[in-house]
Structure 1
Amino acid sequence: MVAALAYTCSTPKKRLKRDQSGKIIVKQDAQFGYLNKKESLNSIYLPPGYRAELVASEPMVVEPVAIAWDASGAMYVAELRTYMQDIYGNDQDIPISTIKRLEDTNGDGVMDKYTIFVDSLVLPRMIMPLDDRILVSETYTHHIYSYKDTNGDGVADQKEIVFRDDSVSKANLEHQRSGLVWNLDNKIYVSVESRRYNYQNGKLIPELYKERPGGQWGLATDDYGRIFLSSAGAETPALNFQQNPFYGRVDLKDQYNADFKAVWPIVATPDVQGGKMRLRPDSTLNHFTGGGGQSIYRGDKMPELQGDLFIVEPVGRLVRRAKVHHHENGKVTLTNAYNQEEFLASTDMNFRPVNSATGPDGYLYIVDMHRGIIQEAHWTKPDSYLGQQILRHNLDQNIGKGRIYRIVPDRKKTDNTKPGLLDKKPAELVNYLNSPNGWYRTEAQKLMVLKQDKSIQPQLKQLTSSSNHLSRIHSLWTLNGIKALDKATLVTALHDEDARVRKTAVWISDEFLDRDASIMEELEKLKNDPSADVRYQLGLTLRFKEMPMAKDIIAYLLKTYPQDEALIASVQKYEAVRVAKEESERKAKELNEQARQLVSEGANIFNSICATCHGPDGKGVAIGGKDLPAPALSGAKLVNGNPDKLIAILLNGLQGPIDGHVYPDIMPPFGYNNDQYIASIISFIRTDIGNKASIVMPARVSEVRKKTEGRSAFWTEVELNQTFK
C-alpha cells in the first residue's frame, strides 16, 4: 500500500520560555485532546542545533512500539493495536496487532509506502531482522518465529518456529520480556528472562544465565557490546550495565545519583500513577516512572552524541540524554547531559515516546505511541489516582494513532543512499566493518556470521591490524562468529595497544578456552594489565572456569587491585548469589515434594516479576538514592506474620503507607491467577530471601479467596490488620 503524509515538516527554530533565573517556564494549560500533526511536531523542543522530522504517522502506523531496519533499509514497525483501548484494558489479547514494513521510495526521508508484513498477532513486542527473515515474538508466549517474504510483495508468506518453549507467561504486559537484539558478541539478548540465544542452522539455541538480568521494556547495546537495561516497575531508568548479564547481575548504588533519576518535563503532568508525591509544586513529574525503550546513539551524523544513552520517558513526555562515564577503577556511571533539563521534551499531552534507535542513515529515531493512556489496567482503575486523572481529561478516548520521528542536526545534508547490504557478498561486507555508523558495522557482521563463509578469513585477519580499533574489534568477533579465529590472531589481540581491543580479546577467550585451554597462559599475562576494564573482563572470563589457574588469577586480582571497585562488587555479588542458591537448595531438601514444588515455582515467578520492584534478594532496589520504590521483603514482619494478609494482598493488591512509609507505587493484584500460583509466590518469599516462616498451601489461598469474595478494591494496611488478626 502507498500512503503519503500531508506534508514534509520538521520542528521550527524556537525557544522555550524562561524566567529571570533561566529556568524553563512550565506550560500549565496544555490541551488533552489531539493536536494536528503540525501542531504536535511544533510542540517538541530540542537543544539548539537539533530538530525533529516526522517520518511516519497514522494511518500508516498505529500504536507503534518498536522499530528495526533490515539489510535493505526497510523499516519494520511493531504495532500494539489492542493496548489499553479503554481504561479497563478490555480485549487486549485479541490477535489483531501487526508488524508493518515501511519504505521511503523517493528518497525524501519520509516513509511513503507500507505493507502489513505480519498480521493477526497478539501484542508483538520483539522484532529483529536477520537477513531476508524477521524474528518476531508475541506477548504471553516464549516462542520465537521467523517470517519471510518469498515473492517480493512485502507480505510474509513463510513462517517457521526458531525457538520453542511451550510455557506461557501470565505476567501483565509491563513484566513481559523485550529485546531480541544482536549484540557485538553474536549473541541475541532479551530482557527479563535468564537466557540469551545463539542462531545456528535456522534455530535459536539458548544459553542459560546463573541469575536473571532484570530489566523490562527495552535493551540497548553500545559499540563495545555493553548492555543497558531499564525497569519501569522499580522506577530505575538504567540498570545492570556494569557487566554482561551472562556473568550475573551487579549494580552499584552510586552508578548514578538521585539527580539523575529526577526528570524535567516542560508541561504539567497530572496523569501519574504515583499520585501527588510524584509531582513537583509546578505539577511536573519529578522522577522517572516509565523509563525504558533506551538506545545508545551509534550513528555518524551527530558525532557529539556518539556513545550517549537515550532513555524515553512516556509519562513525562520527554527523552533523556545521558552521558556514559568510564572510570579508571572499571566502574561506569551516568549523568544527565543537561542541568535540570532534557534533550527532548514536548508539551503535547499525547506525546508518548516508547522507543528509540539509531537508523541506517546515522540519525536518531524516536517512536511515539501517541495516545492518552500509557499504563496497564491494574493501575488505571476508576478509583485510583491515575484512573481519576484519565477520566477527568478523557485520555481514554485518545487511541489509534502513532508517530515516528527522526532527530537531525540543523546542518543536516540529504543522503538518499540505501544500505543494500542484503545483496552484498561476504567479501564485500567486510569493508563495512570500517563504517563510522555502528548500524552498518553490526549489520555487516551479523550477515557474515549468518552466511558462515570462511573464505573471508584472510580479509578479516588483515582487518585485525586496521588503524581503526572498532574495525579490529568487529573483525575479531566476526572471525569468532564464523568459527575461523585462530590462536595466533587472538594472542596478538590480547596484547593490542588499545585496552578496548584487549578487553574484547579477553571476552572472546571465554569461548576459546573451551576448545583450547592453552590460551590460559596468555590470559595469565594480563593479570597486571594497566587497564581496570581489561582486568575486570579477565575476572569475568575466568568466573565459570574450573581450572585451578583461573581461580588463582581471580584471587590475585582481588588481592592486588582492591581499587577495582566494579570487579570487587561483581565477585562479592556472585559469591552472595552462589551461597544463597546453595542455602535454598539445602532448605528445599528438607521439604516434602509438594512443598518443594511450590517453592520452586514461586522462585521462578518471584525472579521474573516480583524482583523488579522488591529486588532479587528481597532487600529492595536502591540505586541512585535512598528511597525504595517498593518495601523490602527480607525480614519483613508482614511477610513472616499471618500469611492470610499476604494472600489478601496478592489477591486484591495493596496501596497506602506500610509501616508508616509511603511508597510511590501500588502493589497490583494477582488474583486472576489460580490458588497454586498465589501459594507458590508466598511460599517462596516466606521460606527464602532471608525469611524463615512456613509455606502456604493452595487450600489456604482458596479459603481467603472465599472470605474476600466480591472485593475489588486495593487493601490498605489498616484494613488488613482489622480483617486478619
Structure 2
Amino acid sequence: MKYHVYLLGAVVLMTACKGKQHTHATDSLAIREKYAVSPVLDAKTAIRHMVTEKDLEVQLVASEPLVTVPVAMTFDEKGRMWVVEMTGYMPDTVGTGEDIPNGKIVILEDTDKDGVADSRKVFLDSLVLPRAICLLENGVLVAEPPKLWFVEIDHDKPGKRTLVDDKYTEGGNVEHQPNGLLRAMDNWIYNAKSDKRYRKAGDKWLKEETHFRGQWGLSQDNYGRLFYNNNSENVLGDYFPPGLGAGNPQQRNVAGYDEKIVPDKKVFPIRATTGVNRGYMKGILDDSLRLNEMTAACSPLVYRGQLLGKAYDNNVFVAEPSGNLVKRNLIQDSGYIVKGKEAYHKKEFLASDDERFRPVSLYDAPDGALYIVDMYRGIIQHKTFLTPYLKSEIKSRNLTNPLNCGRIYRIVPANTKVTPVQLENDPQQLLVLLNNNNGWIRDKAQQMIIDHHYTLLIPALRERLQKTDSINGQMHALWTLEGLGALHLADIQLLLQQKNPYIQAQALAALPAVITPANGVQIAEELSRLTQNVFLAPYVALLLPVLPAKQAGLLQAELIKHYANDKYVADAIISNNAGKEADLLKAMPDTTLLIAKRLKLVLKNIESHKNEKLTEGLKKMYPRGAILFKTVCQTCHGADGNGIQSLAPPLNESGIVTGEKQRLISIVLYGLTGPVEVGGKTYKAPEISGDMPGIGSNDEYSDKDIAQVLSFIRNCWSNKAPAITEKDIQDVRKQNKGRQKSFTIKELGK
C-alpha cells in the first residue's frame, strides 16, 4: 500500500472534523507531495543540500565509485583511511543476499595532496557484513561476525591471519552486534554492544570482561573516559576509568558507568522524515511530518581535533541517519560527574534535506577535521524489525536502489584547505607529539611508541611525568609507560602528590599495572590517606579488587564508614564482593543505608539466577525459540532476561511474559509503546527505549518460530507459564487483521 492510500483515509477522516484538523490533513498531504520523490544526488550536489554553521563548511573527501556502503573507518599514520564497506547490508526489504561475501576493507589515499582521496586499494575482500576495524602493531583487527580476526599487513596486502575471538558476536541481528574496536588511552580495545575488551600482549591476545556499553560506535575524551549511546539515546558514558568496576557479574549496574550524559533526545530535521520505521504512530512525527525524537542515534564522537576552534573542543557529536542529521552536545564536568545538553535550540549542527544522507559514523582525524561516514542509501532499517509502513515508504520512493553509493565528508572552518597529515616514525618526534593539541595525534603517537617498542624513550617519558605544563602530555606519558610495560610505583606516587585531581585519578586508574604482592600493603596504606578526598574516594573504592585481601578489607570498612550513602562508592564496594554479598549485608550496621539497599538488589538478582540451569533443557525443547531469543530478544533484554539499562525492561519475573497469552503475543507481533510495569517498577523513556518494535511482519519468522520463542521465555530463568502454540499466534493475528500500530499496555489491559 503506497503512502497516498494512507493519506486518503486520513483526509476523509479529517474532512468530517472541523477547522484546524482539516488544515493539518491538507498540510500533511502537501508535505507528502513535496517529498514524493527521493532523487539520488551526486556527492557535490548533496553538499549543497546540507546546512551547518556559517563559519564552517562541508568538504567531500571520497565518494562512489572510490568507496561504497562505508560503515566504519580508521586513519593510519600516513593519513590514509582504512574503510569498512558493508556492501551486503539490506539489498532489499527482505535482506536478500545478506550472506553473500562481498564486504571489503579498502585503503583510500589522497596521493596528490589536494584534500580529496584519489586512490583505492582493496586490502581484504570476500567478507560477510564486516563492521569494525582497528590498526595496531603490524596488523589490523577486523570484525566479521561472529569472529574477530587479526590480519598482519605486508606492504598493504593481508598476511598471516590470527583468530582472536570466535565468539566476538554471539546472536543479535546486524543492528545489534558488537562493533567499535576503540583503542583507548589505557591501551585496551573496547567495543560497543559488548561487555568484552581486548589487548595484544606479545603473541597472545587477552580478553576480559568489562561493562556493557552502547549499540553502535563509541569514543573517548581527553581523560580516556568512554562515551556511547543506543538508537534512542543521545549520549551515555562513564564517569570513571573504563577498566575498573566490572568485577561482580551479578551486579546489574554500577553507578558511574552507563550514565545518561545528555538526556535531550529531540531532533530537528530540515525535511519531512516519513521514511522511519514507526512513522505511522502518533508522536513519532510532528505536524510537519518530521522526526520528533532520536530513533537511530549512533556513533557519538568526542571532538578533540582543535581545527574547528575552542567552542567545539570536547563537544560530543551524534549521528542520526533517520533524521539525516548530526547533533552537537556541550559537555561539562562537575567533580567526577559529567553532564551535557544540546548545543542549539530547535536546530542541528548539520542537517540535510536529502533523504539518502545517512551519517552512520563520526571520527576525529590527523588533520583536525570532523569526519562523517555516509552510507548514502535509502534503506537503513534492518529487516528484523522492518514494519509494513516503512516497506511501503521504501517502495513509494524507490529507496531500495542504488546500492553502490557512499561518501566520506569532513567539517572544517569555512575556506580552509586541508591536506593529509602524516606522522613520521621517529621516536623523538613521537615523544613531542604526546603534547599535541590534536587528540587523535596524541593517541596515535602513544600507540606508535608502544607498537614499535621504543623503550629508548622510557627515561624521557618518566621525565615528562614531572612537567605540569600540559595535563594531556602527562596523561599520555603515563599510559605510554604502561603500554611499554615500564610503569613503576614511583611514577604513580609522583602523580598522586600533584594537586590536579584529574592527574591523580589517572594515576589511580593505572595503579593495577604496578601492584605486586610485595608492594600491596604499602599501596593500600597510601590509598587510605586518599579516602578523605571526596573526588578520589570512588576511584579508591574501585581499586579494592587489586589490593591484598586483608588491606582491602580494612580500606573497605573505612570507605563504608564515610560513604555508605554514596552510590558511586557503594557500587564500587559491591563490585569487589562477588560471592560475598550476603556476608557484607549482614555486617551492615544499618539496613537503611544506601549500600545495604543496593546489596539487596544484587542478592535478588542472584536468587533469580538459580533456575538458569533449566535453560539448557528448554533449548532442546524449543530449538528455534532459543535461536530467535538469541538473535532478536537478548540484544535488548539481556541474556539473563533481566533487561539492559537504557534499552529494555526485564523478561525474567515479568507478569507480562508469564501472564495472559494474548497480551504477550500481541506485543511481540505488533510492538509496544509507552510505559510498562514489571515487578512493581514502571519502566518508561528516558530510562529505557520508549518503544519495542514488533516482528509479526517479518517473513523470516514463522508463527511456529514465534510460538517457540514465547514458550521459551515464559519458562526460562525464574519464569513458569503454559506454552504458546502456533494456533495461539494465528488467533491473535486474525483478531488484529490489518493492524500496524504498536499496542500500549492500557489498550491491552482492556
TM-score in terms of structure 2 length: 0.79
Is 2:617 the partner of 1:594?
Answer: yes
Asked if 1 retains the 8 angstrom alpha-carbon contact of 2:173 and 2:632, the reply is: no
Show CA shifts across 1:131-185 (max 9, x none): 342211113x1x22223442x3x4x231411403258634210111111111011
Show CA shifts across 1:621-662 (max 9, x none): 786xxxxx7666465432122568757866x56467898999
User: Aligned to 2:319, what secondary structure does the other structure show?
Assistant: strand
Is 2:615 the partner of 1:583?
Answer: no
Other-structure match for 1:495: 497
Is 2:657 the partner of 1:639?
Answer: yes
Asked if 2 retains the 8 angstrom alpha-carbon contact of 1:357 and 1:365, the reply is: yes
1:185, 1:334 → 2: CA distance?
24
User: Aligned to 1:236, what secondary structure does the other structure show?
Assistant: coil
Is 2:220 the partner of 1:221?
Answer: yes
1:619 Cα shift?
7.5
Identity %: 30
Is 2:167 the partner of 1:158?
Answer: no
Other-structure match for 2:400: 396
Other-structure match for 1:12: none
User: Aligned to 2:141, what secondary structure does the other structure show?
Assistant: strand
Is 2:332 the partner of 1:325?
Answer: yes
User: Structure 1 residues 578 and 561, CA, compared in 2 at 3 Å: closer, same or farther?
Assistant: closer
2:330, 2:296 → 1: CA distance?
20
Other-structure match for 1:440: 441
1:646, 1:323 → 2: CA distance?
41
Q: CA RMSD in A?
A: 4.1
Q: 2:617 is matched by which residue type in structure 1?
A: Q
Aligned positions of 1:466-505 closer than 5 A:
466=467, 467-505=469-507
Other-structure match for 1:20: none
1:309 Cα shift?
1.0
1:393, 1:371 → 2: CA distance?
12
User: Aligned to 1:123, what secondary structure does the other structure show?
Assistant: coil
1:366 Cα shift?
0.6
Is 2:719 the partner of 1:693?
Answer: yes
Aligned positions of 1:390-469 closer than 5 A:
390-410=394-414, 412=416, 414-420=418-424, 423-425=425-427, 427-466=428-467, 467-469=469-471
Asked if 2 retains the 8 angstrom alpha-carbon contact of 1:658 and 1:717, the reply is: no
Other-structure match for 2:19: none
Show CA shifts across 1:218-271 (max 9, x none): 111111111112111xx123224234455244468994575x111111111111
1:550 Cα shift?
2.7
Length, aligned pairs only = 669
Show CA shifts across 1:374-412 (max 9, x none): 10112335xx22222222222122432111111001263
User: Aligned to 1:445, what secondary structure does the other structure show?
Assistant: helix
User: Structure 1 residues 398 and 555, CA, compared in 2 at 3 Å: closer, same or farther?
Assistant: farther
1:712, 1:187 → 2: CA distance?
51
User: Aligned to 1:395, what secondary structure does the other structure show?
Assistant: coil
Is 2:150 the partner of 1:146?
Answer: yes
User: Aligned to 2:400, what secondary structure does the other structure show?
Assistant: helix
User: Aligned to 1:90, what secondary structure does the other structure show?
Assistant: coil
1:71, 1:216 → 2: CA distance?
28
User: Aligned to 1:261, what secondary structure does the other structure show?
Assistant: coil
Aligned positions of 1:15-94 closer than 5 A:
29-30=34-35, 31-94=37-100
Aligned positions of 1:304-703 closer than 5 A:
304-328=311-335, 330-381=336-387, 384-410=388-414, 412=416, 414-420=418-424, 423-425=425-427, 427-466=428-467, 467-514=469-516, 516-517=519-520, 518-529=522-533, 532=535, 534-542=536-544, 547-557=549-559, 559-561=561-563, 566-567=568-569, 575=599, 578-588=602-612, 594=617, 610=633, 613-614=636-637, 633=651, 636-642=654-660, 654=671, 664-668=691-695, 672=701, 683=712, 688=717, 692-694=718-720
Asked if 1 retains the 8 angstrom alpha-carbon contact of 2:88 and 2:99, the reply is: yes
Q: 1:487 is matched by which residue type in structure 2?
A: L
Other-structure match for 1:173: 174
User: Structure 1 residues 436 and 657, CA, compared in 2 at 3 Å: closer, same or farther?
Assistant: closer
User: Aligned to 2:322, what secondary structure does the other structure show?
Assistant: coil
Is 2:190 the partner of 1:189?
Answer: yes
1:56 Cα shift?
0.4
1:553 Cα shift?
3.3
1:32 Cα shift?
1.0
User: Structure 1 residues 705 and 349, CA, compared in 2 at 3 Å: closer, same or farther?
Assistant: closer
Asked if 2 retains the 8 angstrom alpha-carbon contact of 1:507 and 1:538, the reply is: no
Asked if 2 retains the 8 angstrom alpha-carbon contact of 1:70 and 1:131, the reply is: no
Other-structure match for 1:124: 130
2:373, 2:221 → 1: CA distance?
19
Structure 1's unaligned 5+ residue stretches are 1-25, 624-628
1:541, 1:131 → 2: CA distance?
30
Asked if 2 retains the 8 angstrom alpha-carbon contact of 1:599 and 1:681, the reply is: no
Asked if 1 retains the 8 angstrom alpha-carbon contact of 2:315 and 2:330, the reply is: yes
1:605, 1:577 → 2: CA distance?
29
1:216, 1:484 → 2: CA distance?
35
User: Structure 1 residues 648 and 271, CA, compared in 2 at 3 Å: closer, same or farther?
Assistant: closer
2:259, 2:108 → 1: CA distance?
42
Other-structure match for 1:201: 202
2:262, 2:413 → 1: CA distance?
30
1:686 Cα shift?
5.1
User: Aligned to 1:239, what secondary structure does the other structure show?
Assistant: strand
Asked if 2 retains the 8 angstrom alpha-carbon contact of 1:379 and 1:387, the reply is: no
1:261, 1:285 → 2: CA distance?
11
User: Aligned to 1:225, what secondary structure does the other structure show?
Assistant: coil
Asked if 1 retains the 8 angstrom alpha-carbon contact of 2:624 and 2:709, the reply is: yes
User: Structure 1 residues 123 and 321, CA, compared in 2 at 3 Å: closer, same or farther?
Assistant: same
User: Aligned to 1:81, what secondary structure does the other structure show?
Assistant: coil
TM-score in terms of structure 1 length: 0.81
Show CA shifts across 1:286-336 (max 9, x none): 1011001221111121232221111100001111111122113x3221211
1:440 Cα shift?
1.5
1:416 Cα shift?
4.8
Other-structure match for 1:135: 141
1:562, 1:341 → 2: CA distance?
43
Asked if 2 retains the 8 angstrom alpha-carbon contact of 1:331 and 1:565, the reply is: no
Q: 1:80 is matched by which residue type in structure 2?
A: M
2:97, 2:68 → 1: CA distance?
17
The range that moved more, 400-409 or 385-394, is: 385-394
Structure 2's unaligned 5+ residue stretches are 1-29, 247-252, 575-594, 678-683
Asked if 1 retains the 8 angstrom alpha-carbon contact of 2:303 and 2:364, the reply is: yes
